[in-house]
Amino acid sequence: MDIDDLVIDVAVGQTAASIRDLELGRDAGTLDEVPSGGGPAGTFGSQARVVTLRNVRLGAWAVTAATFSLSDLHLRVLPGTHECY
User: Does some domain include residue 9?
Assistant: yes
Domain with 31, as residue range(s), is 2-69
Q: What is the pLDDT of residues 18-68, one digit of tens each?
A: 999 999 999 999 999 888 888 889 999 999 988 888 888 878 888 888 888
Number of domains in the chain: 1
Residue 84: predicted pLDDT: 65
Distances (CA, A) of 6 to 29, 40, 51, 76, 79: 16, 17, 10, 23, 27
Residue 21 falls within a domain, yes or no? yes
Determine, yes or no, domain membership for 80.
Answer: no
| Structure-model confidence comparison of residues 83 and 13, the more confident one | 13
Q: What is the pLDDT of residue 56?
A: 82
In a domain, 79, yes or no: no
Q: Is the pLDDT of residue 1 over 80?
A: no
